[in-house]
Amino acid sequence: MENTGPLIHSTPSHASLPAAFVLAADKLPPASTAAAAAVSLPVVDLSLPRDEARRAVLAAGKDIGFFQVVNHGVPAETMRAMEELCEGFFRLPASEPGKAALLSEDKKKPNRLFSGVTYDTGGQKYWRDCLRIACPFPLDPSMINQWPDNPLGLRAVIEKFTVQTRSVGMEILKLLSEGTGLQPDYFCGDIAGGDVILNVNHYPPCPNPEKALGQPPHCDRNLITLLLPGSVNGLEVACNGDWIKVNPVDNAFVVNFGQQLEVVTNGLLKSVEHRAVTNSVKARTSVATFIMPTEDCVIGPDERFVNEENPVGYRTTVFSDFMRIYNVVNLGASLNLTTNLKDVQKEV
């Protein structure tokens, strides 16, 4: 068996899958059925007249819970530069000083490089390395200076990309608030006022993709996520007991709702499970941009989504408590197609 070290991508070659990555038979990525293969994510053109864009975003969000957005305003050059420089970061040797300095298992560090996932999976390993970057808003040079800048230009592109991608997220939130009858600035305060977190995910070629996953089935814990999926497929979305393989559209972001949006809307907008599969040939790099609430933001179902047919379905929590609860519940048992946010919240 080969030593993968703390990072998967810095081990020169993987002739076989190390045992810690081999999933139990009931957790293996099942082949998705023909029915699921035929389903594609809705694509929303954000340059449509506002009324139409508002309807399309809401319909797409209620449909599968994942959709792609095009004509969103982030220039294609920024998206390509972000992809290329992030791929370049993962091509650097692990000994490169900026990269070596980021290597850490300490979840409290805002910027770090690590392998696996951020919540407890009981020792099960996943075939992913991740560069996590915290971007507090408004951006502050003292924080920016802590981000990696090798390859040269990486720091500047992270800044540009994050500002622009956050604006798209805020615009989608505005369309959703208008579409669901909330005031247009409903999401402009603390609920979207925390750090923007970037997960630069890197999935090296995997010697046995049938026996491993890049990321386990999970729902995002934040408010809304925009994914730059990269040019290699790998994202799969839970739908009707099956998995849809996402085929990214050119220059699109893949958008999904975090659990805080599900809570606020009392289940109208669902946070949907997704996972990352790997392949044996090509490395894949994706960038997830998470718009987060502030740590002390109190989040519960808004009264406008509560009525006789739809009583309160979620508890109200301080966001930092929610994150703590999520980190300690036994996710091993619930990380499957039936993960249910209400059950997770009850396990405190």
Build a one-symbol-per-residue string for 179-218: x at contacts with ligand AKG by CB under 6 A, - elsewhere: --------------------x-x-------------x---
Instruction: Pull the structure tokens for residue 173.
Output: 């939130």
Q: Which is nearer to ligand AKG, 116 or 234 (CB)?
A: 234
Applying CB under 6 A, which part among 61-69, 97-105, 227-235, 306-314 lies near ligand AKG?
A: 227-235
| Number of alpha helices (DSSP H) and beta strands (DSSP E) in the chain | 10, 14
What residues have CB less than 8 Å from 205, skipping those under 6 apart? 14, 278, 279, 280, 281, 282, 283
Name the token pair of 199: 């997960």
CA–CA separation, 156 and 77 (whole Å) = 13
Cα distances (Å, whole numbers) of residue 196 to 179, 258, 290 = 24, 13, 6
Q: Output 37 or 48, the one with its CB closest to ligand AKG.
A: 37
What are residue 330's phi and psi, to 5 degrees? -80, 85
Least separation, in Å, of the C-beta of 60 and ligand AKG?
Answer: 18
Residue 195: CB minimum distance to ligand AKG, A: 15
Q: How many CB atoms lie within 10 A of CB 134?
A: 17
Cβ proximity to ligand AKG, 115 vs 266, nearer residue: 115
Q: How far is the CB of 130 from ligand AKG (least distance, A)?
A: 7
Can residue 286 be called a binding residue for ligand AKG (CB under 6 A)?
Answer: yes
Which position among 113, 235, 255, 268 is part of the footprint of ligand AKG (CB under 6 A)? 235
The interface with ligand AKG within residues 250-279 (CB under 6 A) comprises: 274, 276
φ, ψ of residue 70 to 5 degrees: the values are: -125, 165
Which of 44, 288, 291, 329 contacts ligand AKG by CB under 6 A?
288
Nearest to 199 by CA among 95, 126, 308, 301: 126
237 contacts 246 by C-beta, under 8 angstroms: yes
Question: Bridge-partner residues for 255, per DSSP?
Answer: 67, 226
Q: How far is the CB of 305 from ligand AKG (least distance, A)?
A: 26
165 is an interface residue for ligand AKG by CB under 6 A = no
Q: Which is nearer to ligand AKG, 208 or 233 (CB)?
A: 233
CA atoms 135, 141, 143, 146: torsion sign: positive
What is the spatial distance between Cα 42 and Cα 280, in angstroms, rounded to a whole number?
29
Interaction of residue 9 with ligand AKG, rule CB under 6 A: no
Residue 61 or 216 with smaller CB distance to ligand AKG: 216
Among 216, 217, 234, 258, binds ligand AKG (CB under 6 A): 234
Question: Cα 5 vs. chain centroid, distance in angstroms?
Answer: 25
Q: How far is the CB of 61 from ligand AKG (least distance, A)?
A: 17
In sequence order, which ranges of 197-240 are alpha helices (DSSP H)? none
In the complex with ligand AKG, which residue's Cβ is closer, 173 or 200? Answer: 200
> How many residues at the interface with ligand AKG, by CB under 6 A?
12
Residues contributing to the site for ligand AKG (CB under 6 A): 199, 201, 215, 220, 227, 229, 234-235, 274, 276, 286, 288
